[in-house]
Amino acid sequence: MTAPSTELFVHPALFYRGEEEYVDGTVPFIREGLAAGEPVAVAVPGPKLDILRSALGDAATDVRFIDMTQAGRNPGRIIPKVLRVFADAHPTSRVRIIGEPIWPDRSGVEYPACVQHEALINSAFEGRDATILCPYDEAGLSEQALTDAYATHPVVISEGRQRNSPSYAPERVVERYNEPLPIAEAAEGYAFGADELPAARYFVAERATRFGLSGVRLDDLALVVAELTTNSVVHGGGTGTVYVWAENGQVVCEVRDGGQLKDPLAGRRPSPPAQVGGRGLLLVNYLTDLVRVHTGPDGTVIRCYVDC
């Protein structure tokens, strides 16, 4: 028996095996929320949405459903664009969200960003009147992913029993997955300072076009490169190098500079309309399919993946 938590924010991991356990672990949670008059959102992979809609029947009309494979394709945007946007839309009531950001098909390149996202939910929602329940597919996920879920969630529900996680340590997880990102063999680089910002953007756009990116996606990449390179000039020591290459049907673009990213929630806070600046990393998270970051005293690498 543990002392009841005084923290308003509740963030349990739900371990499940198979559809029945999934429904048993989530549907009562949704129904309790609805009965208490709490706004409820369910952000899980598409096939799971169908399962929950059908299990809920008529009650499904009161729930906001979001396909996490789309909205949360880039885990870096789940906090601002999925979780906070729903919580902030209901400032006067407690909200319930089911968020499933990690599924068996997530690649090894995506996974570190997924775990860091799960860890950062805790500080992003500290003091907020909300419950975010995160289902974990015990049958499909790796042992490491399940172990990490204990470190990113203060509370764990397994086989219907809830207990405090003995290994909860979200800051350590963020640090452990702050993995070095060595320069890719295929990467072409361009060193820039303030005077070369436009040229750095053209450099990436020209190569991205050659790799098959076009239209809106190409425009988006130009915006992303402008934000990252401008950040290097303004906050990252004044200069940097941008690299670009193609990898597994994606264009990958990264910016390296001598600065250190001290705020782990940078790019994950929604921006109020009256705020003048500070949208650069948020935009990068919104417009790309994956962002990986390595930062430390020796510098920062921000690597973005964009589907062609």
Partner 1 sequence: MDRAWEADPPDVSSARSTGTLQVRPLSDRTGWQAAGEVSLATRIAWERTLDRLALEDVEVCHLELSAVTFVDVAGVSALAVAAQGLPEGRRIMIEQPPAAMGRVLDMFWPGLRGVEVVAR
| Contacting positions for partner 1 (CB under 8 A) | 194-195, 197-199, 201-202, 216, 219-220, 222-223, 226-227, 230, 233-234, 271, 273-274, 276-277, 279-280, 283, 286
Which among 107, 130, 236, 255 has a CA at the least distance from the CA of 181?
255
Whole-number Å distance between alpha carbons of 5 and 165: 13
Count of CB atoms situated within 10 Å of the CB of 188: 12
- CB of residue 200 to partner 1, shortest distance in Å: 10
The smaller minimum CB distance to partner 1, of residues 58 and 195, is found at 195
- CB of residue 219 to partner 1, shortest distance in Å: 4
The smaller minimum CB distance to partner 1, of residues 284 and 290, is found at 284
The smaller minimum CB distance to partner 1, of residues 186 and 199, is found at 199
The smaller minimum CB distance to partner 1, of residues 64 and 202, is found at 202
The smaller minimum CB distance to partner 1, of residues 25 and 267, is found at 267
Q: Are strands 161-164 and 63-67 parallel, antiparallel or unpaired?
A: unpaired
Alpha-carbon Rg of the chain, whole angstroms? 20
- CB of residue 84 to partner 1, shortest distance in Å: 14
Check residue 73 and report its DSSP letter: S
Whole-number Å distance between alpha carbons of 134 and 127: 18
- CB of residue 226 to partner 1, shortest distance in Å: 5
User: What does each C-alpha distance from 172 to 11, 102, 162, 266, 272 come to in angstroms?
Assistant: 17, 19, 23, 18, 30
- CB of residue 190 to partner 1, shortest distance in Å: 14
